[in-house]
């Protein structure tokens, strides 16, 4: 049986979908997509479980001010040194979140922008090249920048997974008390879609940790392709579970920006042009609820065929099914429109 998700009365009419614009720009020319007050998820769902809905906040204002506003809606204040995890974006033309969009938020929390090197080659596989990309893309101009695995890696053990029993993260992760997971929601050539869970599960893993997740815990070196799709998606969710357990759920917030909704990830330097209009920014303390809400909005968007096909062909929803099963979060949510 499909579960119900929950919407606030403020969304009984419409959510605003906007024309595809440059990342970080203010939306123009809004279009309307009806969103019911209550209903069934548009995406494939797993078995019904009893779970309290998690709050997911929404704004259609994709701007620096909108990003700060939705962060403030979370009513969360960092207590110590704060990491802001982004994707620096693969050159030359990926859809990474632009510095002019995220700069005010990063500076509001006195955050350090953090990333890890890639495991697939490209322009960000070594620290020297990656730092150059971060500079070229404007991130070093707005805040301190830290490559978490520049000086090695560390392992954090955890229990409760079926694929993993540890996470392997950059050693500098130990230096941060609080985390803002700031993600560009889009398609992904291996996971189906990339949002909050992907930004942590792969993005905070060191190079060997990335292989460990991609191979569903079977190895820490070699290629990242694995022949059991569901197994690696389960490992992806479990990495975030282990990370969250170690850091503490109360020390992490998650924000997804739904603009430039290509079928391709920001690790692709030549992504396909989006077919979907920009939608908005969503935020939550629950990464599963946040990603589920974004997936549901994709299913309601006009021109969604290519992105829906990417998600379904790779069984991307299974990441969220497993995330809920292991207790990372809930797929049931209440969508709170802060524009009202």
**Per-residue pLDDT tens over the stretch 304-330:** 999 999 999 999 999 999 999 999 999
Percentage of the chain lying above the pLDDT 90 cut: 80
Q: Which of 28-42, 170-184, 231-245, 257-271 has the lowest mean pLDDT?
A: 28-42
Spell out the residues 6+ positions from residue 53 whose beta carbon is closer than 8 angstroms to its own: 5, 6, 289, 330, 332, 333, 334
Spell out the residues 6+ positions from residue 77 whose beta carbon is closer than 8 angstroms to its own: none
Beta strands 38-39; 252-258: pairing state: unpaired
What pLDDT, on the 0 to 100 scale, is given for residue 268? 82
CB count, 10 Å around CB of 129?
15
Residue keyed to tokens 């946040």: 290
Q: Where are the beta strands (DSSP E) in the chain?
A: 5-7, 14-17, 31-34, 38-39, 54-59, 82-85, 112-115, 145-147, 153-157, 166-170, 178-184, 186-188, 192-194, 252-258, 280-284, 333-337
Q: Report the predicted TM-score, pTM, of the whole model to 2 decimal places.
A: 0.88
- C-alpha distances in angstroms, 122 versus 106, 231, 255? 26, 26, 26
DSSP code, position 8: -
Residue 24: pLDDT band (50, 70, 90) is very low
What pLDDT, on the 0 to 100 scale, is given for residue 259? 98
What pLDDT, on the 0 to 100 scale, is given for residue 51? 61
For the chain, the maximum distance between any two Cα atoms, rounded to a whole number of angstroms, is 51
- C-alpha distances in angstroms, 69 versus 121, 235, 335? 37, 33, 16
Q: Is it the case that residue 12 has pLDDT exceeding 90?
A: no
What pLDDT, on the 0 to 100 scale, is given for residue 267? 85
What pLDDT, on the 0 to 100 scale, is given for residue 294? 98
Q: Is it the case that residue 198 has pLDDT exceeding 50?
A: yes
**Per-residue pLDDT tens over the stretch 241-294:** 999 999 999 999 999 999 999 999 888 888 999 999 999 999 999 999 999 999
Mean pLDDT of 86-109: 97
Q: Is it the case that residue 229 has pLDDT exceeding 50?
A: yes
What pLDDT, on the 0 to 100 scale, is given for residue 121? 77
CB of 206 closer than 8 Å to CB of 148: yes
Task: Give the chain's mean pLDDT.
Answer: 88
């Amino acid at each position: 049986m499909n579960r119900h998700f929950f919407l606030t009365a403020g969304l009984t009419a419409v959510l605003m979908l906007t024309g595809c614009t440059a990342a970080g720009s203010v939306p123009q020319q809004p279009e309307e997509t009806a969103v019911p007050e209550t209903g069934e998820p548009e995406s494939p769902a797993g078995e019904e479980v009893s779970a309290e809905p998690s709050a997911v906040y929404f704004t259609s204002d994709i701007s620096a001010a909108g990003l700060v506003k939705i962060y403030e809606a979370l009513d969360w204040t960092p207590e110590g040194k704060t990491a802001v995890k982004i994707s620096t974006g693969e050159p030359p033309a990926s859809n990474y979140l632009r510095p002019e969009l995220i700069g005010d938020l990063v500076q509001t929390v006195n955050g350090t922008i953090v990333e890890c090197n890639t495991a697939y080659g490209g322009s960000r596989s070594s620290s020297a090249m990656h730092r150059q990309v971060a500079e070229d893309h404007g991130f070093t101009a707005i805040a301190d920048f830290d490559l978490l695995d520049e000086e090695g890696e560390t392992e954090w053990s955890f229990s409760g997974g079926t694929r993993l029993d540890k996470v392997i993260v950059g050693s500098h992760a130990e230096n941060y008390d609080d985390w803002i997971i700031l993600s560009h929601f889009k398609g992904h050539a291996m996971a189906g879609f990339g949002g909050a869970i992907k930004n942590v599960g792969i993005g905070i893993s060191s190079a060997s940790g990335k292989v460990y997740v991609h191979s569903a815990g079977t190895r820490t070196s070699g290629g990242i392709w694995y022949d059991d799709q569901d197994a690696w998606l389960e490992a992806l969710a479990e990495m975030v579970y282990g990370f969250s357990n170690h850091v503490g759920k109360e020390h992490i917030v998650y924000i997804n920006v739904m603009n430039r909704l290509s079928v391709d990830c920001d690790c692709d330097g030549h992504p396909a042009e989006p077919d979907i209009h920009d939608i908005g920014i969503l935020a939550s303390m629950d990464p599963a609820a946040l990603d589920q809400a974004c997936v549901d909005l994709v299913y309601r968007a006009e021109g969604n065929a290519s992105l829906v096909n990417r998600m379904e062909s790779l069984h991307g929803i299974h990441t969220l099914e497993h995330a809920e099963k292991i207790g990372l979060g809930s797929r049931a949510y209440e969508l709170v429109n802060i524009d009202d």
